[in-house]
Amino acid sequence: MTPTADTAPLCLLADIPDGNAVETEAVIQGEVESLLIYRSGEEARAYLNVCPHAGRRLDYAPGKFLVRNGTIICAAHGATFTAESGDCTNGPCREDRLRAVPVSVVDGEVRLA
């Protein structure tokens, strides 16, 4: 079942390599959405897996993201985003941002907030 705010966790924090991201799906405002879940230490951030440039997915293969030194790189045309904030720092959608999805980490589980 696809997680909603009231149901199962999105993933376990331990399933995300520190400084990297995984993909999962969740129901957001009634729609099943693909999410990028980024881990930084004991914290997690989530964004819709949609690039603000042309609406393409950020991953180069399902669930495989380019994340280096705190920067998420869109696989389509190379826009770069600060993983901590989702702000675009370079590329065709500079000054735009990823759409954040509020999440929290509770007992090692990443959940919709």
* CB nearer to ligand FES: pick between 18 and 60: 60
Q: Which chain residues interact with ligand FES by CB under 6 A?
A: 51, 53-54, 56, 74, 76-79, 91-92
**In the complex, least distance from residue 74 CB atom to ligand FES, rounded to whole angstroms:** 3
**CA gyration radius for the chain?**
13
**In the complex, least distance from residue 82 CB atom to ligand FES, rounded to whole angstroms:** 15
**In the complex, least distance from residue 20 CB atom to ligand FES, rounded to whole angstroms:** 19
* CB nearer to ligand FES: pick between 76 and 105: 76
Listed in sequence order, the DSSP H helices in 1-113 are none
| Gap between the Cα atoms of 92 and 78, Å rounded | 8
* CB nearer to ligand FES: pick between 89 and 109: 89
Report long-range pairs for 81-90 (Cβ below 8 Å, ≥24 apart).
81/47, 83/21, 83/38, 83/40, 83/45, 84/40, 84/45, 86/45, 86/47, 88/52
